[in-house]
């Protein structure tokens, strides 16, 4: 259930929150925030999301490994759990702190190729986390319906 909630909020953050924050001028009628400030707001959303994401990754790993030892798991669940945990922990423990560090150096640093590369890689990492978490949720729903 917690995994489903985190996946749902992750999808909501990417599909709803990000477009609203990064297009604030179209909602407010004028440009109140610059791109750097919008990025700071979006980063805060992902910082707050990373705490339950890390907890759910660790819980899912324990749950799926326990099921594996009880012979109640399959390769789809193990692979999706491994991907979700690996990329989720990478997102929470590497990408978020690195982006915060770079943002703390000011707007000029966020325009650099290094920041763009780290940001793009973090987006891909997060998408893999969400997609593999979704596969894990669907796999567990199918296992429960048997």
Q: How far apart are the first and last CA of the chain?
A: 18
Tens digit of each residue's pLDDT (9 = 90 or more) over 73-115: 889 999 999 999 999 999 999 999 999 999 999 999 999 999 9
Overall number of domains in the chain? 1
Q: Which domain holds residue 85?
A: 2-144
Residue 97 burial (CB count, 10 A): 12
What pLDDT score was predicted for residue 65? 94
Q: How far apart are CA 128 and CA 48, in angstroms?
A: 19
Q: What is the pTM of this model?
A: 0.90
What pLDDT score was predicted for residue 96? 98
What pLDDT score was predicted for residue 8? 86
What pLDDT score was predicted for residue 11? 84
Residues in the chain with pLDDT < 50? none
């Amino acid at each position: 259930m917690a995994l489903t909630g985190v996946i749902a909020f992750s999808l909501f953050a990417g599909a709803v929150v990000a477009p609203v924050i990064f297009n604030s001028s179209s909602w407010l009628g004028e440009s109140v925030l610059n791109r750097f400030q919008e990025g700071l707001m979006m980063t805060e959303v992902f910082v707050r999301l990373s705490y339950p994401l890390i907890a759910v990754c660790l819980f899912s790993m324990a749950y799926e490994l326990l099921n594996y030892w009880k012979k109640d798991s399959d390769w789809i669940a193990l692979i999706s759990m491994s991907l979700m945990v690996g990329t989720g922990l990478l997102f929470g423990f590497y990408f978020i702190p690195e982006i915060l560090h770079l943002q703390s150096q000011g707007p000029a640093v966020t325009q650099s190729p290094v920041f763009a590369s780290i940001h793009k890689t973090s987006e891909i990492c997060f998408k893999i986390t969400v997609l593999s978490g979704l596969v894990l949720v669907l796999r567990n729903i199918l296992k429960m319906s048997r």
